[in-house]
Structure 1
Amino acid sequence: MARIAPATALPALALATLLVAPLAAQPRAEAEKKLYRWVDATGKVHYTDALPPEVVNQAREELSARTGLVRAEIGRALTEEERRALEAETAAEAAARTRAENSRRAEEAKVSAFRTEEDLRRSYATRQAMIDDTLVSLEAAIASQRASLHQQLGVAGDAELAGRPVPPRVAETIQELRREVYKQEQARLERAAEKQVVQEELERLVALLKERQERGLAPPGG
């Protein structure tokens, strides 16, 4: 008469899996055990298998308990001020990348309007000539203002040498001329910086134009 297996009997494969699984999991669990290396306030180095509460936010190393090798380096927790500074820096970097990308797209649009490098340089030569004319005018204005200032300073110096007070109108004129010379010199610096920016922009556009030509992109009307 055939023997009937109990209703609770498991298939042989399932039984073997249950027996082997704990053995296989044991090395894996051991491999994942960690040690922590940290330094206290006195400079003493500690190795522990658990972090004391007061150490949770400070720098430490995580080591493999099996090999002793460093698996990770954890930096200390940032202060609120440091966290805000990091967020601000990250936001500034993101904004800079956005500006750079927008600038790149704008320059792509500009360069697409020119057929040749000569056309591009001719267009920018007009802008540069206008800036040069402005610089010449500013230089002449500065020279004139300086000459007037020297004259008024001479009048004030003569009065002081003669033991007379400097006339109020002369003193006022000297101050006005100083302010005007300073303003004109600042304008000259700004126009010189603008000229440099225009030149750098031109060189970037020339490079972009050559790049488009190498990629075989057709110019307007091409």
Structure 2
Amino acid sequence: METINNLIKPSRLLLVTLLSLASVSLPVNAGKLYKWVDESGRVHYSDSMPPEDVRREHTYMDERGLTVNKVGAAKTQEEIEQQEALKRLQKEQQVLIKEQQAADRVLLRTFRSEDDILMARDGQLRAVDLSLQVINSNIRQLKSKLEEMQRNAASLELSGEAVSAEYLQRIDRKRQSLKESYQSIVHRERDKNRIRIAFARDLERFRVLKRLSRKPDDKLETAQSEEGLSNVYHCQGESRCEASWQAAKQYLHSHATTPVRMLAENILMTGQPVKAQDISVTMSRLTDSITRQTIIFMDLQCKDTPEGTAFCASEPVRQIRNGFNAAVAER
């Protein structure tokens, strides 16, 4: 028994000694040990970090040397701004995705097939064409009335009588109505373009959603640039537009077969067609009510009969329409 006690006593002494040494070797604030690498690449261990290294990446370790937490390097102002910009972009993308998903649901509820989309498009285009027919009919009436009023005014002047201010104002109002009608034609052509673009986009999206491929004989009508309209010229500057306006008037004299009935600062009009192969031309310089851009509009009309309509669709007349833009282009 005595021998056993003698063996235990040294072991207890050794344990106490080891614990004492451990308490001495541990930092004062045991459990708060940081590990980091400075700008020179040297590794440091300490219970506190210098102020100049606090923003660096560092590891928090416990008293056993095990990693408890790892703190990344503090972000720079530029990195913070980039992160915020990325968050905004992601949020915007989520909004766009939700909007697209909502639009897709509406598209699939509205149309059951490609033919449904094409029929809806053609219906809207026909409605615009009917509106254009009404406008063109009004233009014919306006031009006929203006021609009559111009003849009356000319007769009064030839007889030595003065044309009243009130009558001249009526003529001016008719001219303004004619110019507004031409502006309406340009706007309706824009409407047709928007319809074509919108339905072309819907058709392509419908095909994606339904996993359909384009048909070999598909002749989807595409949008036409408003600048590409053969009877509309868009001026590129007021000073240079004057030369184009003079060229437009010369173009009228070269191709109209009826005599000039009205000549004003911004409108030049020939008489109404009499024969089946007559060509009446009106040139009008307008300010687009939407874009505020100056445009030159050519109105070419034939006699309102089946023969006149056929003549207007002939190749010679088509060439007159198609050659207008090139003839008045600013050089």
Q: TM-score, normalised by structure 2?
A: 0.36
SS in 2 for 1:14: coil
2:45 maps to 1:28:
no
Kindly indicate whether the alpha-carbon contact (under 8 Å) linking 2:135 and 2:185 is maintained by their aligned counterparts in 1.
yes
Change (3 A) 1:171 1:114: same
Greater percentage in strand: 2
Query: Where does residue 149 of structure 1 map in the other structure?
Result: 146
Of the three residues 3, 21, 25, the one matched with 1:12 is 25
Change (3 A) 1:144 1:28: same
- Alpha-carbon separation, structure 1, partners of 2:172 and 2:96: 42
Matched letter for residue 206 of structure 2? L
Change (3 A) 1:103 1:125: farther
Kindly indicate whether the alpha-carbon contact (under 8 Å) linking 2:27 and 2:47 is maintained by their aligned counterparts in 1.
no
How many percent identity over aligned positions? 16
Query: Where does residue 77 of structure 1 map in the other structure?
Result: none
Matched letter for residue 21 of structure 1? S
- Alpha-carbon separation, structure 1, partners of 2:104 and 2:195: 12
Query: Where does residue 114 of structure 1 map in the other structure?
Result: 111
Of the three residues 201, 204, 210, the one matched with 1:204 is 201
Q: Which structure has more RCO (C-alpha within 8 Å, separation ≥ 6)?
A: 1
Query: Where does residue 182 of structure 1 map in the other structure?
Result: 179
Greater percentage in helix: 1
- Alpha-carbon separation, structure 2, partners of 1:128 and 1:141: 20
TM-aligned CA deviation for residue 154 of structure 1: 3.6
- Alpha-carbon separation, structure 2, partners of 1:26 and 1:193: 66
Kindly indicate whether the alpha-carbon contact (under 8 Å) linking 2:108 and 2:206 is maintained by their aligned counterparts in 1.
yes
- Alpha-carbon separation, structure 1, partners of 2:52 and 2:165: 96
Kindly indicate whether the alpha-carbon contact (under 8 Å) linking 1:111 and 1:205 is maintained by their aligned counterparts in 2.
no
Structure 2, unaligned runs of 5 or more: 1-12, 35-43, 57-75, 79-91, 213-331
- Alpha-carbon separation, structure 2, partners of 1:191 and 1:158: 38
Matched letter for residue 13 of structure 1? L
- Alpha-carbon separation, structure 2, partners of 1:23 and 1:101: 49
Q: TM-score, normalised by structure 1?
A: 0.51
SS in 2 for 1:166: coil
- CA deviation map 1:39-88 (0-9, x unaligned): xxxxxxxxxxxxxxxxxxxxxxxxxxxxxxxx878xxxxxxxxxxxxxxx
| Rg larger in structure | 2
Structure 1, unaligned runs of 5 or more: 32-70, 74-93, 216-222
